[in-house]
Amino acid sequence: MSISDKKKWNQKYKSNPKIPTDIIDIVKEYAPLAKGKDALDIACGMGRHSIYLASLGFRVEALDISPIALKSLNEIENITTKEVDFDNYQLQKDRYDLIVCVNFLNRKLFPQIFNALKSGGLFIFESFIYHPNNTKAPSNRSFLLEQGELEATVAKEYKTLHIKEFWDRGVLGDKLFKGSFVGYKL
């Protein structure tokens, strides 16, 4: 990411009343299965999943490029925020029992996530897949998974609990093709 990305996201969080607040289903269903209480929320935005995880008793490290987004989490117990640029940030090895990454794709993070999980750690991921029928998705194709890419990239390194490609609706009713994955580090 760059300074222009940081500005873009800061502006979005300042001016967008339609930022999602609902916890996605796979986080609700699978986060309680984590075997410990140290969690990481990658590209957390306004922290909907960080807040949920903290409510379950997790100690959450919430990372994002936008200080405006992170500010909303500063006073919440069990959440530590950190402003990071994922192009230049290295996740700490063997640190987390649970890592959540939703609606964000940086392919170079997949090996870092694997290494950052403790043995038996749980990885929950959901993001957008390129499809010509998407009505609203990131405009930069490099921020979109290709069909089948998620399974090819992560499934071999984890004990897979869930993997799916599916159609979803965005906050404004947009049609989006997505991929989701949940697995334990082997």
Tokens representing residue 126 in the block? 């959901």
DSSP the chain: --HHHHHHHHHHHHH-TT---SPPHHHHHHGGG-SSSEEEEET-TT-HHHHHHHHTT-EEEEEES-HHHHHTTTTSTTEEEEE--TTT--PPTT-EEEEEEES---TTHHHHHHHHEEEEEEEEEEEEB--TT-SS--SSGGGSBPTTHHHHHHGGGEEEEEEEEEEEE-TTS-EEEEEEEEEEE-
pLDDT tens digits, residue range 138-170? 778 889 999 999 999 998 899 999 999 999 998
Total-model pTM: 0.91
CA dihedral 29, 31, 33, 39 (to 10 degrees): 180
Q: Are 129 and 145 in contact (CB under 8 A)?
A: yes
Arithmetic mean of pLDDT, 43-65: 96
Where do the domains of the chain lie? 24-185
Report in angstroms the alpha-carbon separations of 57 from 8, 79, 151. 32, 10, 30
Question: What per-residue confidence (pLDDT) applies to 4?
Answer: 65
Query: What's the confidence (pLDDT) of residue 182?
Result: 98
pLDDT at 8 over 80: no
Task: Find out if CATH 3.40.190.10 is the number for domain 24-185.
Answer: no
How far is it, in rounded angstroms, from Cα 111 to Cα 138? 23
Per-residue confidence (pLDDT) for residue 111, from 0 to 100: 96
